[in-house]
Amino acid sequence: MPRRTQVGIIGCGPAGLFLAHLLARAGIDSLILEARSRAAVEGTIRAGVLEHGVAALMQELGLAGRMLRQADRHAGITLQWRSQRLHLDLAALTGGKAVTVYAQHEVLKDLVAARLAAAPGSILFEAPARAVEGIEGDHPAILFETAEGGAGRLDCDHIVAADGFHGIGRGAIPASIRQEYGKTYPYGWLGVLVEAPRSWPELIYASQGDGFSLLSTRSPTVQRLYLQCDPADPVEAWDDARIWRELGSRLATDGWTLTQGKIFQKSVIPLRSFVCAPLRHGRLFLAGDAAHIVPPTGAKGLNLAVADVLVLSRALSRAIHRGDASGLDAYSDTALARVWQAQRFSAFMTRMLHRDPGETPFDTRLREAQLEQIALSPAAATALAENYVGLPFPAED
CA max distance for the chain = 68
- Is the distance from CB of 74 to CB of 99 less than 8 angstroms? yes
| Alpha carbon distance 49, 227 (integer Å) | 18
| φ and ψ of 225, to 5 deg | -130, 150
Structural domains in the chain?
Answer: 3-48+103-178+278-357 (3.50.50.60), 182-271 (3.30.9.10)
Beta-bridge partners for 141 = 133, 155
Give the model confidence (pLDDT) of 113-160 as tens digits: 999 999 999 999 999 999 999 999 999 999 999 989 999 999 999 999
**Which has the closest alpha carbon to 291: 299, 378, 282, 301?**
301
In whole angstroms, how far apart are CA 219 and each of 14, 54, 103?
A: 21, 20, 10
Cα–chain center distance at 158: 24
| Alpha carbon distance 42, 243 (integer Å) | 28
- Is the distance from CB of 162 to CB of 309 less than 8 angstroms? yes
| Alpha carbon distance 115, 388 (integer Å) | 29
| Alpha carbon distance 54, 70 (integer Å) | 16
pLDDT, residue 1, reads 63
Give the active site residues: 74, 205, 296, 300, 388
In whole angstroms, how far apart are CA 236 and each of 233, 242, 244?
A: 8, 11, 15
| φ and ψ of 269, to 5 deg | -120, 140
Burial of 295 (0-12, 13-18, 19+ CB in 10 A): buried
**Which has the closest alpha carbon to 123: 197, 223, 239, 17?**
17
Q: Is 167 helix (H, G, I), strand (E, B) or coil?
A: coil
| φ and ψ of 313, to 5 deg | -65, -40
- Is the distance from CB of 336 to CB of 181 less than 8 angstroms? no
Considering just the CA atoms, what is the radius of gyration of the chain in Å? Answer: 22
Cα–chain center distance at 263: 24
Q: What is the mean pLDDT of each run of 10 residues along the chain (397 residues)?
A: 92 98 98 98 90 98 97 97 97 98 96 98 98 97 95 98 97 97 98 96 96 94 96 96 97 95 96 98 98 96 98 98 97 98 98 96 97 98 98 86
| Alpha carbon distance 265, 267 (integer Å) | 7
- Is the distance from CB of 309 to CB of 293 less than 8 angstroms? no
**Which has the closest alpha carbon to 346: 397, 293, 392?**
293
Q: In which order are the strands placed within the sheet that holds 284-286?
A: 123-124, 30-33, 7-10, 158-161, 284-286, 280-281
